[in-house]
Every structure is written in structure tokens, then in C-alpha cells.
């Protein structure tokens, strides 16, 4: 059996006395598209943020290709460039144009020369339908457009895994579709994805696996079909009844 890309063991995260993640265990295999669902405050964002160490775990081990990402000497920068993140609030670099947003990581982190980096950025922006807007600043484009650029920015680093934290929840309804379409295309291309989402239809149709989180633990982890048509856990059932 091939080694998982990411392994999470006994992950715990406390904010003060608030235990947000309690003993999380799971693995991510190459090519999986995992949707993480669950009610607000169940710890979904915290889990994603722990995975790329924007949040420091209180306890537990996270491995990337078998290597402990918290070990001294582990290249966090290199790791983060291979595990990209797409944020709910886009977080495009406000001081840079659309094109520069997709170039700056390549040139500063990966040391790719400018010409190549721009070519790659153009190609990716084209694939998310944003090639026309390369000269625009983030404040000049719509939410849906921002999120597509943010996805292109993450892809420019050639990540092995992309983490999405509710990529469409800050969008007006009519813009949700354009972002989901891009994500659907990515899923089909074989990219490994971890998606925190409230879009149940998307979770059901696109993902290969669904994780239901409840009060800081993984309450159910199964195929979309199993979870949506025959949830084993009462809390999952109650949650889905509310959502669908």
C-alpha cells in the first residue's frame, strides 16, 4: 500500500480551556477529495489550520509523507508551498495585481525565474477564467473572481494537496457556481483536496470521501453515498436534516 500524503494522529487543539479538537485521527491518500462537514464551531477550520500550522497543535503528530511537520529542522516553508490553502475571505495580496498574486510565491519561495513564473501564472489564470484581469488589483474584482484568483495563486506553487476553508461561504449566491466549477475541474484532474464546506450537494457529488465533525471529533468518516443516504451517527443525521 502506498504511503498516505498526510497522516494526523491524536491531534488536539485547545484555546485556553476551550478544547476545540479532541484526538483527531485520519489520513489523506493521494488523489482523494475529502469534504469536511459539520456544524459551526465543531472545529473544521481549526483542523485545516493545524494541518498547515497556521495554528499550533496542543498535542498530536501530523506527518507529511511520513515526516513529522513539527520536528525541529523540518522545512515549514517547503511544506506549506506543497500544501496550499484557499481561504473563506480570499486573502489576495491587496498590494499586488492579479498576475503578481500568482507570481510572487513562485519567485520568492520556489526561486523560479520571472518569465517562467509569469507564463505559469497566465496559464493558471486562464484556466480559472481570469486571464483578462491580470492587471486588476484585488479591490477591483468581484468576490467570485477573487476566489478564482486565490485558487490560481495556490495552484501556482504546484501543491500536492489543497486545503479549502469554506471557499464559497463569503460569496453572493450567483458567484458560488463559478468557484465550485473551478473546484470540480480540479477534483477531476486528480488533485488531492480537503474541503471544508457547507455546500452539501457539492460534497455529495464531487468528493470521494466525507468527514463529519462534531464537537472536535470526527464523528463519521465515510463515502459520500454512505453518509448522505445512510448516516450511522445520530448527530450526522440531525445535521444533514438541518442542511438538506
Q: Does 43 bind ligand ATP (CB under 6 A)?
A: yes
Q: Does 57 bind ligand ATP (CB under 6 A)?
A: no
Q: 24 and 8 in contact (C-beta within 8 Å)? A: yes
Q: 8 and 25 in contact (C-beta within 8 Å)? A: yes
Query: Shortest Cβ distance from residue 22 to ligand ATP (Å)?
Result: 11
Q: Which of 164, 152, 244, 139 is nearest to 201 (CA)?
A: 244
The nearer residue to Mg ion, 129 or 143, going by C-beta atoms, is: 143
Query: Shortest Cβ distance from residue 138 to another protein (Å)?
Result: 10
How many CB atoms are located within 10 Å of the residue 184 CB? 15
Task: Output phi, psi for 57, to 5 deg.
Answer: -60, 145
Three cell numbers, residue 162: 489543497
- Strand-by-strand arrangement of the 6-15 sheet: 18-28, 6-15, 59-64, 67-68
Q: Rounded CA gap, 110 and 72, in Å?
A: 21
Q: Does 46 bind ligand ATP (CB under 6 A)?
A: yes
Q: Does 19 bind another protein (CB under 8 A)?
A: no
Residue 43 near which of ligand ATP, Mg ion, another protein, none (CB within 5-8 Å, type-dependent): ligand ATP
Query: Shortest Cβ distance from residue 150 to ligand ATP (Å)?
Result: 17
Q: Does 89 bind ligand ATP (CB under 6 A)?
A: no
Query: Shortest Cβ distance from residue 201 to ligand ATP (Å)?
Result: 17
Q: Does 35 bind Mg ion (CB under 5 A)?
A: no
Strands 192-196 and 161-165, sheet pairing = parallel
Residue reference for cell 459520500: 224
| Strand blocks (E) in 73-188 | 83-86, 161-165
Q: Rounded CA gap, 134 and 228, in Å?
A: 40
User: Site size for another protein, by CB under 8 A?
Assistant: 39
Q: 125 and 131 in contact (C-beta within 8 Å)? A: yes
The nearer residue to another protein, 71 or 244, going by C-beta atoms, is: 71
Cross-strand pairs, 13: 21
Stretch that binds ligand ATP, among 34-42, 93-101, 185-193, 230-238 (CB under 6 A): 34-42
| Residues 38-57, mask of contacts with Mg ion (x by CB under 5 A) | -------x------------
The nearer residue to ligand ATP, 41 or 78, going by C-beta atoms, is: 41
Q: Does 44 bind ligand ATP (CB under 6 A)?
A: yes
Binding site for Mg ion (CB under 5 A): 45
Binding site for another protein (CB under 8 A): 52, 54, 72, 77-82, 84-85, 87, 89, 91-97, 104-105, 108-110, 126, 131-137, 140, 150, 153-154, 156-157
Amino acid at each position: 500500500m502506498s504511503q498516505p500524503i498526510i497522516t494526523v494522529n491524536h491531534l488536539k487543539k485547545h484555546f485556553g480551556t476551550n478544547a476545540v479538537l479532541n484526538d483527531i485521527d485520519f489520513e489523506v491518500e493521494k488523489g482523494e477529495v475529502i469534504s469536511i462537514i459539520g456544524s459551526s464551531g465543531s472545529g473544521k477550520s481549526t483542523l485545516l489550520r493545524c494541518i498547515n500550522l497556521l495554528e499550533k497543535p496542543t498535542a498530536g503528530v501530523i506527518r507529511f509523507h511520513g515526516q513529522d511537520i513539527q520536528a525541529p529542522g523540518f522545512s515549514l516553508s517547503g511544506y506549506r508551498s506543497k500544501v496550499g490553502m484557499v481561504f473563506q475571505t480570499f486573502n489576495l495580496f491587496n498590494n499586488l495585481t492579479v498576475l503578481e498574486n500568482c507570481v510572487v510565491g513562485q519567485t520568492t519561495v520556489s526561486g523560479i525565474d520571472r518569465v517562467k513564473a509569469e507564463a505559469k501564472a497566465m496559464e493558471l489564470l486562464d484556466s480559472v477564467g481570469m486571464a483578462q484581469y491580470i492587471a486588476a488589483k484585488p479591490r477591483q474584482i468581484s468576490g467570485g473572481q477573487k476566489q478564482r484568483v486565490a485558487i490560481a495563486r495556490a495552484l501556482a506553487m504546484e501543491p500536492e494537496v489543497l486545503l479549502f476553508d469554506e471557499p464559497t461561504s463569503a460569496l453572493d449566491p450567483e458567484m458560488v457556481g463559478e468557484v465550485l466549477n473551478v473546484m470540480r475541474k480540479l477534483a477531476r484532474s486528480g488533485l488531492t483536496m480537503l474541503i471544508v464546506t457547507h455546500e452539501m450537494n457539492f460534497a455529495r457529488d464531487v468528493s470521494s470521501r466525507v468527514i463529519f465533525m462534531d464537537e472536535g471529533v470526527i464523528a463519521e468518516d465515510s463515502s459520500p453515498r454512505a453518509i448522505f443516504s445512510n448516516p450511522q451517527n445520530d448527530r450526522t443525521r440531525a445535521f444533514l436534516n438541518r442542511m438538506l
